[in-house]
């Protein structure tokens, strides 16, 4: 392990301290390590845009959105070759939690995910991408 000294402005240090307290980190070093890993993972994820990936798309689906819900279903049917698995479970309040596991070219997976979460019936969408290799 290497020691690295960094200088943070007061606002950023306060934000990191709040993050630490909310997540229960024992030290700033642990918090900054995890934040660094997350940032690096995002950069690496973006650099694998032309490669195969595995991904998880999660979102809440509002069952009250008739046509939008139908468009969501149509998008998933069109992309059946990329969809490995789906899970849908009631979340209360007329909503379902939907989890879709995808496999395919990263760019295509991102485009499909973006189209899905852009539908009004899809709420709080989040995509996690892992390189397949």
What's 74's domain CATH number? 3.30.70.1150
In DSSP terms, 97 is beta-bridged to 60, 89
Q: Report yes or no on 1 lying in a domain.
A: no
Residue 24 DSSP one-character state: T
pLDDT of res. 103:
94
Whether residues 99 and 79 fall in one domain: yes
Count up the domains in the chain and report the number. Answer: 2
Examine the pLDDT at 45 and tell me if it is beyond 70. no
Q: Which residue intervals of 48-105 are DSSP H helices? A: 66-78
Segment 80-99, tens digit of pLDDT: 789 999 999 999 898 999 99
The pLDDT mean for the chain works out to 86
* Rounded mean pLDDT, 61-68: 78
- Residues 77, 27 share a domain: no
Q: Are residues 59 and 40 in the same domain?
A: no
Q: Under a CB-based contact definition with an 8 Å cutoff, are residues 125 and 115 in contact?
A: no
- Statement to judge: residues 35 and 61 lie in one domain: no
- Residue 43 shares a structural domain with residue 72: no
* Token pair recorded at residue 2: 């290497």
| Contact criterion met (CB below 8 Å) for 53 and 106 | yes
Which structural domain range is residue 26 located in? 10-47
């Amino acid at each position: 392990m290497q020691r690295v000294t960094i200088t943070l402005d007061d606002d950023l240090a306060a934000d990191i301290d709040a993050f630490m307290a909310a997540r229960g980190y024992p030290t700033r070093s642990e918090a900054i390590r995890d934040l660094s890993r997350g940032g690096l993972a995002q950069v690496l994820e973006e650099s694998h845009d032309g490669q195969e990936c595995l991904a998880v798309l999660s979102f809440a689906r509002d069952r009250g959105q008739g046509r939008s819900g139908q468009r969501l279903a149509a998008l998933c049917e069109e992309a059946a070759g990329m969809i490995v698995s789906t899970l849908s479970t009631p979340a209360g309040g007329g909503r379902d939690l939907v989890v879709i596991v995808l496999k395919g070219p990263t760019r295509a997976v991102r485009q499909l995910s973006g189209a899905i979460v852009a539908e009004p019936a899809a709420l709080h969408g989040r995509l996690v991408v892992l390189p397949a290799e």
